[in-house]
Amino acid sequence: MKIVKVTPFLSSSNYGSGKVLGQPLGAKTLGFVEIETSEGVLGYGEAYCAIYAPESFIEVIKIFSDELVGEDALNPEFLYDRIHIPFVTRSGFFRSAYSAIDIALWDIKSKYEKKTIAGLITIDQSKKKIKVYASGGSAAFTPKEIEEDVNTQISLGHNSYKMRVGFQSWENDLERIEKAKNILGNSKELMVDAIMGTINPPWTIEIAKKQLKQVEKFNLTWIEEPLAPDNLLDYKELKTHISIPIAGGEALSSKLDFESYISNQSVDYLQPDVTHCGGITAAIRICKLAKKYGMKISMHVWGSSLAFAANKEVALAFDNVHWLEEPTVSLDISKEFSFSKTIVEGELIATEEFGLPFPDRKEILKKYPYIPGSGFKFPARAK
């Protein structure tokens, strides 16, 4: 079965309250790829980088498409290694964009062979459930909004919750963390994301040491991205100064990135995202290497229902994947996806689904057309 056409497209959706940090137009733009095959099977994928630079995503996929037409659609791992442009595709934006292509190819393979993607990945029986955490708690939320958000997620069956800090004053953030912890208590888990891969300038190692000592009393499951993601040596140093487990990895894209984090034991929880790290093929290799070094994995998700479903399949295929992220900020386009999801006592129950969920492309483009200028724009951080 051959690839006959690769089509990138953008779709903008109303997002949250319309005042979400980093999305000043009140919309989130998602970048997708549709791959057509000689036997009529369609595959769909998504790339995280399109949220930030949507127009560039389209141009990069066009470059890849010329190399893909005529290739075997059922061999994503071969194509992952074959499609290469020196100095360009090993990391960064090109690697992130290719994620959408790789995911679409696994989608095709799953549909054609009538096996789940998790079943294609693992020879052994894939897991029947995976712990999932509610990921909300905008860095801009007030303490009262944090309380409301935590209570909402508990009512929906979640036993764990992640919130963001780093945008407001540290005094405000401490109050926000305390509000969340008071509601969750000791029976439910709290993760805190410092978003230092987004905030510029990020915390220094000195600031991180000082401030994180003040939150050790909250018994966090982890502190996420407490430093800039490329600050590898300071991550290792920070681990020796705080008792809170450290998570990170969503910003990583290259083989070198992940090998460095894993071999240096820079974090306690590694967080690859199949929509950014190079796709499902890359995530498979990352999870295998992490397992060899005894490192825990938590799959990162911050896109559409397609992104959630693709990361879920990897999470179900590996026993060293302990967590799956579920974004809780409302995204209107999500209601268009036919995707069954059952969460019981904080765990997502696996269902046998071939391929990944995606609605009709033409209908999506009519309902959710691309809004120019809707890429990520971060406001000035509070003093």
Looking at the chain, how many residues does it have? 383
Q: What pLDDT was estimated at residue 132?
A: 97
Q: What is the CATH number of domain 2-115+360-367?
A: 3.30.390.10
Q: What pLDDT was estimated at residue 138?
A: 92
Domain boundaries, the chain: 2-115+360-367, 119-349
Does residue 7 surpass a pLDDT of 60? yes
Q: What is the mean pLDDT of residues 99-109?
A: 98
Q: What is the mean pLDDT of residues 265-277?
A: 98
More confident residue, 310 or 345: 310
Q: What is the mean pLDDT of residues 278-296?
A: 98
Q: What pLDDT was estimated at residue 26?
A: 82
Q: What is the mean pLDDT of residues 106-120?
A: 97
What is the four-CA torsion angle of 63, 66, 71, 77, rounded to 10 degrees? -10
Task: Give percent of the chain above pLDDT 70.
Answer: 98
Q: Name the token pair of 343.
A: 């969460």
- DSSP class of 51: G
Q: Work out the pLDDT band at 78, boundaries 50, 70, 90.
A: very high
For the segment 142-184, what is each residue's pLDDT rounded down to a tens digit? 999 999 999 999 999 899 999 999 999 999 999 999 999 999 9
For the segment 338-374, what is each residue's pLDDT rounded down to a tens digit? 877 888 889 999 888 999 999 999 999 999 999 999 8
pTM of the model: 0.96
Does residue 380 surpass a pLDDT of 70? no
Q: Please, what is the average pLDDT of the chain?
A: 94
For residues 130 and 347, the answer to whether their CB atoms sit within 8 Å is yes
Q: What pLDDT was estimated at residue 340?
A: 77
Q: What pLDDT was estimated at residue 125?
A: 66
d(CA 328, CA 308): 11
Q: What is the CATH number of domain 119-349?
A: 3.20.20.120
Residues 6+ away with beta carbon under 8 Å from 363: 336
Does residue 382 surpass a pLDDT of 70? no
